[in-house]
Amino acid sequence: MSVRQGFLALLSHGPKHGYQLRAEFEARTGGTWPLNIGQAYTTLQRLERDGLVTAVRDDAPDAPERYVLTDPGRDEVESWWRSPVTRGAPARDELALKLALAVTTPGVDVGALVDAQRAETLRGLQDYTRLKRTGGRRAAEEAEPDGDLAWHLVLDSLIFAAQAEMQWLDHVEARLSRAAGRRGSAPPPPSGTSDWRPDRTPEARA
């Protein structure tokens, strides 16, 4: 999803000015995609240039300019809702590329890299599960009656991604151990594999 698509989706509910769109976009995405107001208005200007929104002014003096969808804008939103998110092109995942380079670069302690990443991913997982129980929900609810649901859906996605990354790091460590065994060198100690299980995460215990 892009900010452009998000704004069109929000405008399908009715006219909004730039500050409203910025606040609602951040609330609906669980606070994980912060926008500055300049980015919000740049996006709106491009949408207006492309004929997808038009600016309107209220009768009240000093009222902020609001934006409404045009017919082509409404068609684009409907097309976006109907179209699945494609997974054709592989994402440029920094961690996967970093490890791919590490295992082919002499002198890099790949085991230490995996351990450091596991600790960071676990920290993020704990932060996400803590957020589910605490902050952010009130702001989402104030922006939209279903804001609490939107907030949880975004956080659930982040939690599942972090859990999958933990499992993948365990897989990486096992592959490194097998590769070291084939070369006849001492395998790295399985420092993280036995310490983490999906059923021991804060989310599983909640």
Report the percentage of the chain scoring pLDDT > 90: 41
pLDDT, one tens digit per residue, over 27-86 is 877 667 788 889 999 999 999 999 999 999 877 777 778 999 999 999 999 999 988 877
Inform me whether the pLDDT recorded for 201 exceeds 70. Answer: no
pLDDT at position 142: 52
pLDDT at position 185: 55
pLDDT, one tens digit per residue, over 128-153 is 888 877 765 454 445 455 557 777 88
pLDDT at position 206: 45
pLDDT, one tens digit per residue, over 160-185 is 999 999 999 999 999 988 887 776 65
3-state DSSP assignment of residue 198: helix
Strand partners, 128: none
pLDDT at position 92: 72
Q: Which amino acid is at 36?
A: N
* Separation of CA 206 from chain center: 22
Where in the chain are the domains? 3-82, 94-205
> Which of these CATH numbers, 1.10.10.10, 1.10.390.10, 3.30.930.10, 3.30.750.80, describes 3-82?
1.10.10.10
Inform me whether the pLDDT recorded for 154 exceeds 70. Answer: yes
- Model confidence band, residue 193 (pLDDT cutoffs 50, 70, 90): very low
d(CA 136, CA 8): 24
Inform me whether the pLDDT recorded for 124 exceeds 60. Answer: yes
pLDDT at position 198: 52
Task: Spell out the residues 6+ positions from residue 67 whose beta carbon is closer than 8 angstroms to its own.
Answer: 11, 15, 16, 17, 18, 21, 44, 47, 48, 53, 54, 55, 56
